[in-house]
A and B are shown apart, each in its own frame.
Chain A
């Protein structure tokens, strides 16, 4: 059974640029959630995708957007990067939305200069 994978592991961008982060869910999981974790803080929920549809969103601006593909992998896109977007971005997959346990990937560390 393959776990949750994310790419890239590290990324450096400059303010105003756009970035795409990728996540492959665990085998058999149809739900993907994205979280932003600032240094020394707990993760904050960005949004969740279930069967290719957005299924809930946290308090993040519209320049944070996402996609889920038919194979349930997912992308997180961030436009017009700001310095405060520097963080660890975590992807988690689960079997469904009904309180199934979420399993996390290793994360992508984004640095915005």
Chain B
């Protein structure tokens, strides 16, 4: 069974600075997908970024980038130029890449990020 671990329950960062959120996972699969989702107090889960395991290049989306270390099974999220609107709970999630199988997401426990003005 796949597991996702987010060991930091809370983090705080000053506005405009950079913060890195950690995530590790465990799987015996070679083909899979990793995601970071953001859940603000409004509770709607929003996709931040997605990484395909077969791609060596780290995914980037504007101020958000990942450091994907496949051998170490590590998938961290870097947020640059932090903004007050980045305050939210962040979840790391895993989806196995088997064609035709259900694409269920396995989530970590999440990390609460607070951006200070």
Contacts from A to B (Cβ < 8 Å): 31, 33, 35, 40-45, 48, 50, 55-56, 58, 88, 90, 92, 94, 97-107, 109
Contacts and interface: CB of A to CB of B under 8 A. Distances in A.
A99 B91 contact: no
Contacts of B93: 42
23 contacts: A33-B103, A33-B104, A33-B105, A35-B105, A41-B110, A42-B107, A42-B108, A42-B109, A42-B110, A43-B45, A43-B91, A43-B105, A43-B107, A58-B104, A88-B43, A90-B45, A97-B101, A97-B102, A99-B103, A102-B47, A102-B105, A104-B45, A109-B43
A9 to B, nearest CB: 10
Contact of A45 (B91, B99, B106, B109): B106
A58 B105 CA distance: 10
Contacts of A48: 102-104
Given A42-B110, A106-B44, A98 B104 contact: no
A100 to B, nearest CB: 7
A97 B35 CA distance: 16
Interface in B48-68: 50, 52
A36 B107 CA distance: 11
